[in-house]
Amino acid sequence: MCGILALLGCSDTSQATRVRVLELSRRLKHRGPDWSGLHQHGDCYLAHQRLAIVDPASGDQPLFNEDKSIIVTVNGEIYNHEELRKQLPNHKFRTGSDCDVIAHLYEEHGENFVDMLDGIFSFVLLDTRDNSYIVARDAIGVTSLYIGWGLDGSVWISSEMKGLNDDCEHFEVFPPGHLYSSRDSGFRRWYNPPWFSQAIPSAPYDPLALRHAFEKAVIKRLMTDVPFGVLLSGGLDSSLVASITSRYLGTTKAAKQWGSKLHSFCVGLEGSPDLKAAQEVADYLGTVHHEFQYTVQDGLDAIGDVIYHVETYDVTTIRASTPMFLMSRKIKSLGVKWVISGEGSDEIFGGYLYFHKAPNKEEFHQETCRKIKALHQYDCQRANKSTFAWGLEARVPFLDKEFINVAMNIDPEHKMIKRDEGRIEKWVLRKAFDDEEHPYLPKHILYRQKEQFSDGVGYGWIDGLKAHAAKHVTDKMMLNAANIFPHNTPNTKEAYYYRMIFERFFPHNSARLTVPGGPSVACSTAKAIEWDAGWSKNLDPSGRAALGVHISDYDNQNNPVNKTVELEKIIPTEAPLGLAIQG
């Protein structure tokens, strides 16, 4: 994948505008360090920063159709591109890039081709025959995308907010599963799955159908011409991804080019739950395992860079993005260009610990729908931007369109957590891969309790963040928080600390409006807080805030696993507004 930037319908087509587009495109260079391109047609500019994964030799962008009347700049991976090429026998392709099919599909089908794409993508397509254009984003929003408007009537598109922050009068998140067409100057939703209406499904639970759908989702993502690996925390989701990848890698084209030995990667504080569990899974699967340890101080020193790259002040996103950001740099230094990751499972199957309190199957299902619809502002944003900060791509098989359709069609009664029946969170997924004859994972890993990424890397991480924020944010500052930050007012010192840094990088009002807000406990939506009266007094996104559910919850002070950080060993960093950005 890559970074894209487009300026469409501008009033000034002088050399100065071209230079400015190039300057803004370079802000995305971390996303695509391999090559860059810019194409101008009249009052439209399409720029691209490439991370070469499929057809590195000839797949540079922008891409064109045969006569160059259709121009495309795209950030994405189209997993069914070979099948789509076969449906276009009368077209000649200029490259072997998986994204090369987009221009030709548009020629054949017009604007209605987007649902034919199986993959993750954000693209801008310019039709020079009438100077019209379309912009589209993938179904769930795995790829990041923003849209902005200039005072001269121009439309701006960028993979990251930093490409629009200085030149647009207003900008916002481009909604996932939508298409924007210049012909009607508006959005329309192209992704319309059955679950989107939140109607309660009634299909019986078929463990083998679920298993086969997920295996297919993983296998199709092994499309590559460069080295790759898998992120392995030792939890259920990443372990299943690693197990399936390891099991089927030898049958793929990737194995012929790079070998059948899978590389796995994990990050955590010394002695963290994830490091221990990941090593055990790696030993079981026989992966070449790389363990990266970081300290609380390493994480604190990186907070400014994380907020700049991930473009949020959301507490749980920053907590989880920081170790992922640090790990991604290490992974890229080993020559790896993309990884498979386990995001999305908790939203689909109700894996967060607060789902234990879902009062009925209707509430359970509707909450999973709400969570999936919001993924682009949380876990997708984290996985995409914290890895791309170092030119590393993350692929997420749990968010495969076909797999989501299968999983979200299951009667939610089967997903409900029932301790008295031995059904813990994500039971339907665990049961689907509980194969006695050909086991995917050891039993205790297959049934390991959910750990949120920011907890699993070491409980001392969150405790250290809170202590550090308390040193930089005074009680007096918190008293005036609502006056300083009337939108999404921070209600903790940790949130206030992140907000100060964010405002330094992104002072535009549009920027602060791109970040979601509202109360949450253990990553719930605001609606789900109604499930437990006690949660409104304990609002924290950590999984340990699910009191009475997590084995190391905040009420269980004597649990030896719940290691707290030694505060006197944390070295104070510079004041938050003086944090530097790594180039």
Q: In this structure, what token pair is assigned to residue 83?
A: 């099948």
235 is in an annotated binding site: no
231 is in an annotated binding site: yes
- The C-alpha atoms of residue 330 and residue 319 are separated, in whole angstroms, by 19
- The C-alpha atoms of residue 254 and residue 240 are separated, in whole angstroms, by 19
> Mutual orientation of helices 493-505 and 459-472 as an angle, nearest 10°?
70
| Maximum C-alpha span of the chain | 71
- The C-alpha atoms of residue 68 and residue 583 are separated, in whole angstroms, by 35
Residue carrying the six token digits 């939203």: 347
Residue carrying the six token digits 């693209």: 123
Torsion of Cα atoms, 296 then 298 then 303 then 306, to 10°? -120
- The C-alpha atoms of residue 284 and residue 264 are separated, in whole angstroms, by 12
Q: Is 168 a catalytic residue?
A: no
Residue carrying the six token digits 């924290």: 540
Helix, strand, coil tally for the chain in percent (to 5): 45, 15, 40
One-letter amino acid at 386 equals S
154 is in an annotated binding site: no
Alpha carbon of residue 421 to chain centroid: 34
Residue carrying the six token digits 């300026």: 7
Task: Please name which of 231, 316, 350 lies closest in space to residue 281, comparing C-alpha atoms.
Answer: 231
* Cα–Cα distance list, 239 to 228, 311, 581 (Å): 16, 29, 34
Query: Is it true that the peptide bond before 62 is cis, omega within 30 degrees of 0?
Result: yes
Q: Which residues of 444-453 are buried (b: 16+ CB within 10 A; e: fewer)?
A: ebbbbebbbb
User: Please, are residues 161 and 146 in contact by the beta-carbon 8 Å criterion?
Assistant: yes
Provide the annotated binding site for L-glutamine: 98
Query: Annotated active-site positions, please?
Result: 2
Provide the annotated binding site: 98, 231, 267, 341-342
Provide the annotated binding site for ATP: 231, 267, 341-342
